[in-house]
Amino acid sequence: MRGLCVHTVCGYVPSRDRVESDGMVALFWGALRTGRRRSGRVVTQAVNGSSTEGRRRRRPTPRSVEHDKQGVGQDERPAVRRFKEGYGIVPQTLAQDLDIRLKHVVRLIKYNATGVEIACAKLTDDSEVDDADVSTIRADVCLCTLPLGVLKHSLTGDSPKFEPALPDWKAQAIRRLGFGNLNKVVLCFDRVFWDQTGNLFGHTNESTLSRGEMFLFWSIYDAPVLIALIAGQSADMVEKMADDIIIKRCMAVLTSIFGNTVPPEPTEAMVTRWRSDPFARGSYSYVATEATGDDYDILAAPVVPTGQDLPRLFFAGEHTLRNYPATVHGALLSGLREAGRIGDQYFGCPYSPIALEEA
């Protein structure tokens, strides 16, 4: 029985408390084995560090998915599905029975005809990268799901670096495609003071320069929580401000809409800064002025080492799926696509579309 070791390098989104989260970059490690599809034994390490051994089995359906049986009348919200324990239950469920290396910051990805080597530096408890503590993980192939913003920075000499460097056709597509920024301000209150018959309401700023600042507010069902959206240039500008200033601006906008019914301040608040996050460098991809939809396909194409027929470096993420970019389901579908591509390339007939060859 021949084994295929697949390492997935990805950006890790921290939990609610970013300082006390287990790590900001994780290395996902899965093992694929040949033979009869339902007979292979798998040894994995769970997130909590314990080892499990057993037959392959289907992942359980999350019990935390609650069906909201609301009506669909003219004045009622449509029926929806929501996660009772938050969106975090999605990656937690998908990560079951996988060996996940937390606090591992990828510094170098080497690929050649024999496989890949991934050099990782440890992340200290103070969220500092310790380049003196480096470990190397070897595998047959690497699936890279790093955000587009991180890939853009890697082209400027920042880590992670690729050795050899990514081919020009891949690098040019990374440069052409845009990577925008969308920040959110989560505001928790002790009571609801807005109209809950709708899921959202908007706000128009007087200045064009600030048109993306708190332009939209989301209402989180029956909970007294609002999420303010900040986009465009405003999203980059607010990342340089302190949290209290941003929160005061949000409250000023709400007061201008709802008047004296607005409390002086929220009971709790949280502000995102995706552009400043070195493991994200932004939020979503978009088609920039010099880019086309074809660039999504180019970013999805695997890289074949020189003189070889089989690729060693694969790519997934929302920026690799032209049909559903900038979405969670797009990122998930791209992962399923690459799982099929890797399996077909090494165990069966070639997957279509085939890898682009370097000119």
Dump pLDDT digits (tens) for 254-277: 999 999 999 999 999 999 999 999
**Can you give the pLDDT at residue 269?**
97
Q: Of 239, 242, 266, 238, which Cα lies nearest the Cα of 252?
A: 266
**Can you give the pLDDT at residue 19?**
28
**Can you give the pLDDT at residue 122?**
93
| Confidence grade of residue 174 (pLDDT, cut at 50, 70, 90) | very high
Q: What is the largest CA-CA distance in the chain?
A: 71
Least confident range of 29-38, 72-81, 285-294: 29-38
- Whole-angstrom Cα distance, residue 103 to residue 123? 5
| Confidence grade of residue 356 (pLDDT, cut at 50, 70, 90) | low
Residues of the chain with CATH 3.50.50.60: 3-59+96-176+290-347
Q: What is the mean pLDDT of residues 329-353?
A: 85
- The pTM (predicted TM-score) of the whole model is 0.77
To the question of domain 3-59+96-176+290-347 being in CATH 3.50.50.60, the answer is: yes
- Whole-angstrom Cα distance, residue 33 to residue 202? 52
Task: Examine the pLDDT at 354 and tell me if it is beyond 70.
Answer: no
Fold of the 182-271 domain:
Polyamine Oxidase; Chain A, domain 2 (3.90.660)
Task: Examine the pLDDT at 246 and tell me if it is beyond 90.
Answer: yes
β-partners of residue 83 are: 65
Residues of the chain with CATH 3.90.660.10: 182-271
- Whole-angstrom Cα distance, residue 229 to residue 235? 9
Q: What is the mean pLDDT of residues 101-117?
A: 94
Q: Which helix (H) or strand (E) holds 31?
A: strand 25-33
178-236 confidence digits (pLDDT tens): 999 999 999 999 999 999 888 899 999 888 888 899 999 999 777 899 999 999 999 99
**Can you give the pLDDT at residue 205?**
87
SS3 70: coil
Task: Examine the pLDDT at 46 and tell me if it is beyond 60.
Answer: no
295-334 confidence digits (pLDDT tens): 999 999 999 998 888 999 999 999 999 999 999 999 999 9
